[in-house]
Structure 1
Amino acid sequence: MKRREFSEALHVQNLRFVGERKADTQRQHRVGFVLLEHFSLPAFTQALDTLVTANLIHEGAFATHTFSLDGESVTSDLGLVICPAGALDSKSLDLDLLVVCGGLRTPMRELPALTRLLHQADDKGVALAGLWNGAWFLGKAGLLDGHKCAVHPENRTALAEVARNAVVTAESYVADRGRLTSGSPTGAFNMVLEWINKLHGRELVDGIVDILAFEESRYRRTRPALHAKMTQPLRDVLNLMSANIEEPLSIEQLAQCVERSKRQLERLFMEQMDTSPARYYLELRITESRRLLQHSDLSLVDVALACGFVSPSHFSKCYTSFFGYRPSKEVRFGCVRSAK
C-alpha cells in the first residue's frame, strides 16, 4: 500500500510522533554556555531547551556544554546553584556558538579572562551570543562594533556607553552576522530558533515551536498572508475538532456551530490550511492515536475508540496508510497509565 502523506497543516505536528529521524548529512553543532553569577535561569533554560528539543526531532543535531569562568558552581538569579561541566578555557572553544549568560543582578564589570576567551573564540570563527545583559560583555570586549544587538531594557544605556559603534535596539532579540543577543527569556527562545533555522531550515524550527509553543503553533496558517492570523471561525472549528476526537462531529455540524455553510467552511480550510476539513479531521485523529499508542498503555481497541474509529480494522487500515505499518507494530513507551 502506498503511504499517504500528511497535509502541510499537520505534517509538522507529526514530527513529534513519527520518529522518522532522517540521516542528517550536516555535522553536529556544538554550543557552549558560560554562566555568570546571578545569570537568568529562565533565559538560559529557554535557549537550552530549544536545542534539546531540536535533538528530539533531529537526533544529535546539537551538543551543549555549560561552563563557568573558574569551573566552580554558579548561583542563578533564582537562587538555584548550577554545577557546570568545567571552566571555560582555550581548550574548550571547539564550538560553533558561545553564549554568555547574564542576568538582572549580574555585575557589569570587565572580566579580562572572559574578554580574552571571547576574542579567541571570535578568531576561531565561533558565533558569539549574549543572554539578558550578556551583550554588555560582548560590547565591553569590542566585539559588537558594527553590529545590531539586544539587551535587557535596564542595561541599554550601559551597553550604549561601552559599545559606541554598535546599534543597541529595543528588540527582544537580534541575530546579526555571527552576533546573537537577547534581553529576555522569550527573546532567548526566538534567538536560538533563528540560529537553528539558518543551519537546518524552517521544518525543524516549526517542529520545535509545535512542541514548546503549542498554543501559538496550533493556529499557524499554512498559507499565511504577511503577518496575518488565522480567522476566528477557523480557530473555533479547530477547537471543536480537538475537543471531539472520540465522537467526531460531521462537517455539517461543525459548519453550523460557527454559523457558516459547509461550502464556506471548506473554502476557509483550503484558503488558510491548504486542505479540506474532512482530511484535516482524519489526520488530527490519526496523530492523536499515534500519541496514545506511544505514550499510554491503552489497548489498540481502546485507542481506536478514543480516536473516533468505528472498528479496529478501519483504524488499522487508516493508520497503516499514513505510517506504513500496522498500529500493533508501534513502539509503546507507556509513560502514562490509563484509569482502570
Structure 2
Amino acid sequence: MKKTGLAILIAAAFAASLTGCQKQEKQAANGETGSLKKVTFVLDWTPNTNHTGLYVAQEKGYFKDAGLSVEIVQPPEDGAEVLVASGKADFGMSFQDTMAPALVGDDALPITAVAAVIQHNTSGIISRKGEGMASPKGLEGKKYATWDNPVEKAMIKDVMESDGGDFSKVEMIPSTVTDEVSALKTKSVDAIWIFYAWAGIKMDLEGLDTDYFAFKDINPVFDYYTPVIIAGNDFLERDPETARAFLGALSKGYEDAVKNPEEAAEILLKAAPELDEKLVMKSQKYLADQYQADVDVWGYIDPERWNRFYNWLNEKGLSKAEIPENTGFSNDYLPQ
C-alpha cells in the first residue's frame, strides 16, 4: 500500500510538473510573463504629454489588471511604424499625415491606427508677435523653418492662398531648430510649425510674445489625427482580444489625465524626471481638454475626417498611390 501510494504521489507530482512546463512554454510562445501577457509599445519621440495616458495606465496598474505587462521603448531612427509593422512591437505612436506613405504602394507597411490620442490637430505656425504673421498671408517674405516635406509645403501653400498670399514668396530655411524659443528670439527664423501643446506652452512660460494660427481653423481638411496609436495588422488579426485589453486599459489612463491633469503630470514626471516640471504641468492642463474633446469614447476616429484628409492628398497628387476610403484606421478595438 505504501509503495502504491508513493507511486501515485510521484506520478501526480510528475504530471503537475509537466503541466507547469507546458503552461510556461505556452506563455512564452504567446509572449506572456508569468500570468501577464507581454505587450511592447514604441514611442514616437522622447516622453512628453502626448504619452501621459500610457504612463498613467502603467503606474495605476490598469495594464496589469487587464492581464498585461507593457514595455515602453524608444523608437529607432526609422520610426515606430517599421518596428510595429515588423512585429517587433505590438503598438506604437504615429501621425495620420506621416502614416500616409506607409499605407499604399509596393512598399506599404501592414499597420493600422486603432486610436486617436488627441481629437483635433493642435499644430500651426508660430511667430514673434506683431511682425505680421498672425495669418498665413503674413508669411510672405519671411523665413520659415521647413522640413522640406511635400505635404508640409502643400498645406502651407493651401492656407496662404486661402488668405490671399503667395507661397512662392516665403523664404524656406532648412530646419535645424531644436529649441523653438531660441530660434525665434535670435531671429534665425521668423516662423516655425509647432504643436501648441508643447512648444506653444513653452513660448508662454519663457515670456516670448507670439502670434499663432492653427491649420484646422483655416481649412477643416487639416483637422486630421495627430498623434494616433498604431498596431501591426498581423498582431490585430492574430490576437484581437489582447489589442482590446490594451486599449481598454490605455483609455482609462487618458480618462484619468482628463479628470486630474496635475496627478497625471506628476506620474509622467516620475517616469521622465528630466522633463521641465512647469512645462509638463501647463501642457497637461491644456491637453486635458484635447484628449477626448467632443467624443464619447477616448480614441474614436471619425471616418469622415480621416477620409477627408487622405482625399485631399489624393487630389493634390501627394500620395504615391491613391489612398482608398477608410484605409489605415479602425475603431473596432476601442472599449464599447
**TM-score bucket of the superposed structures, by smaller chain:** under 0.3
Q: TM-score, normalised by structure 1?
A: 0.20
Q: TM-score, normalised by structure 2?
A: 0.21
Higher relative contact order (CA 8 A, sep 6+): 2
